Chain A
Amino acid sequence: MNALNLKALGNSTAAELLRLRKWSAIWVIVGAWLALSLSFGYVFNYVAYKTGDDNFAGDGAGNAQLLAELMPNAIPDVIVSGLPMFGGALAMVVGALVAGNGFGWGTWKTVFTQGPSRSAAVGGSLAAVSIFIFAMMTATLVLCAGVSVAIAATEGQSITMPALSDLAQSFGAGFLVLEMWALLGFLVGVLAKGPALAVGLGLVWSLVVENLLRGVGSLLAGIETVTEALPGTAGGSLAGAIIGGPNGTPGVLDAISGERALITVAAYVLVAAIAAVVVMRRRDLA
């Protein structure tokens, strides 16, 4: 029976991957993510470095710092910097689209009448989203590596790669943060039975409400214990722990320790996945 379930899960994952791969909306989101990562990670800083070099010849210290952040050595910091802000938001949109559209389109209904158990079908969808997020993170890493090596070569700097362990740690943390937001988006898509409300509410929550709460939380101790448990705080603090503290990028925090942030993010991933499966198993599907 267990082998059968695994097979059904594998079939469902393969089916979901096929239809995600051919969905242009998803690729638009990936494109947006890569473009934003590139812009905020490299393009703006590089332009600042170049223009700074010309205009303030004496200001060597600031420029040296800028250049250091563009070098391959800094990849672990760069790939997690954008996550708390736009990375999480985009991942959430992916999750909400994948789960939410199935109601309006009637595709959940069609899938459930094809034979897989609801757990297998929803599990397969969650697995496909996770694989997709992993691929998105990998593409980010490859892009950042390529660009930073190119900058180093152009600027005549020696190419020093970061330690593999640092890179792995950063990649893992980045994947977990994106995964958390994607699965939360998936869950909200399931609860809202559609993508529009889910995307709207999800973005307002992750971009606005959490920030406001953190603002209030610094004044009121009671609220602070709540904000410390929120996904945005956890994701931001995990990124902060990798970078070594807030670096001026919005959303990168040091509100909670890296360890606690890791546990909180992992807990959200698990809870969101289980809740999505449980709700879909029990639901009447009109």
Chain B
Amino acid sequence: MNELVVETDGLTKRYGDRLAVDRVSMTVMRGEVYGFLGPNGAGKTTTLRMMLGLIRPTAGSASVLGRPAGGPEVTARIGALIEGPGFYPYLSGRDNLRTMARYQGLPATEVDRVLEMVDLADRAKDAFKGYSLGMKQRLGVAAAMLGSPDLLVLDEPTNGLDPAGMADMRALVVSLAEAGQTVILSSHILAEVQEICDRVGVINDGRLLRESTVAELRGGATLRVRATPEDAALAAVMQLAGDEGVRRIGNETLEVDLPVTAAPEVVRHLVAHSIDVHEVTVAERSLEDVFFEMTGNNKELVS
């Protein structure tokens, strides 16, 4: 289960004097949905291109499915949509997929299968140049899924989709993940990553800041207790959580560094000290909070 599908080692790409990707070492495990999160220009696409062998690293290396990235025996087992769909404008959606299927020696039935998956079957006869942005994007995802690859790499697949389209795309990725598909999904949308990814790599300015599970990244949840009188409540809770473990956050509310499971004990303790408990809530840090802390650069991010 913990088999490595992707492993990069000090992956670096330099354009002139700009370091687009700076010593990125990341790992993707089989069967997981890996979120590659970062603002515009962070180096997501550049990293993914190196992973696919579209461009060569300045330094470092990437191994995909146990082999050096870029060889035909590897790319044949990857499906990818990198920085927007690239198709023949004069061909219909179906003929575009037929062409791409022929490149892999796949039968035409495979084309129908992926068209159904992205819900494009009824527009498949229309020319690609007449497609809306969202339809083009979906055709790109369909092409990536041709031949049921072992690894699916989707670079901002929800780009250009309306809210319903975004929800469909997320549902598609979730259903693929449930079937055991390994997916790398880049995004600058935190909510998206939080919703569908198992693990996240956060990249900013070409550097991988952190790689962990979504839960780990957010940190443990904390308890918030509104109780009066506040001074007595503070003293009482400190007996449980220690002097450092409690903070006043205003409105007669205390933030307590205790796991959610400790809530009943905290309430019993306060009641035993004749303190009135008005409200106990669980405060979760969002990925967004964590991200802002990490990057200090949030202007381009949308949540």
Contact = CB atoms under 8 A, between A and B. Distances in A.
Interface of A: 7-8, 11-12, 14-16, 18-19, 22-25, 105-117, 120-121, 124, 284-286
B63 to A, nearest CB: 17
Nearest to B52: A113
Given A22-B90, A22-B95, A113 B78 contact: yes
B98 interface: yes
A182 B103 CA distance: 22
A105 B100 contact: no
11 contacts: A19-B88, A22-B95, A106-B86, A109-B54, A110-B86, A114-B76, A114-B100, A115-B75, A117-B72, A124-B103, A285-B55
Contacts of A12: 102-103
Interface of B: 49, 52-56, 71-72, 75-80, 82, 84-91, 95, 98-100, 102-105, 140, 143-144, 146-147
A112 to B, nearest CB: 6
B102 A107 contact: no
A108 B143 CA distance: 14
Nearest to A103: B86
A212 to B, nearest CB: 36
B135 to A, nearest CB: 16
Contact of B105 (A7, A16, A113, A286): A7
B102 A110 contact: no
A106 B84 contact: yes
Contacts of B103: 11-12, 15, 111, 114-116, 121, 124
B105 A105 contact: no
Interface of A, secondary structure class, is helix
Contacts, number: 99
Given A15-B102, A285-B54, A285-B55, A113 B87 contact: no
A113 B72 contact: no
Given A105-B88, A285-B55, A110 B72 contact: no
A22 B78 CA distance: 28
Contacts of B146: 114
Contacts of B87: 105-107, 110
B86 A105 contact: yes
B1 to A, nearest CB: 26
B55 A284 contact: yes
Contacts of A115: 72, 75-78, 103-104, 147
A286 B52 CA distance: 11
Nearest to A285: B54
A14 B99 CA distance: 8
A29 B19 CA distance: 45
A18 B72 contact: no
A286 B50 CA distance: 10
Nearest to A121: B103
Contact of B85 (A110, A121, A124, A286): A110
A16 B100 CA distance: 9
Contacts of B89: 105
B55 A286 contact: yes
Nearest to A11: B105
Given A15-B99, A107-B87, A113 B56 contact: no
A11 B103 CA distance: 5
Contacts of A285: 49, 54-55
A16 B102 CA distance: 9
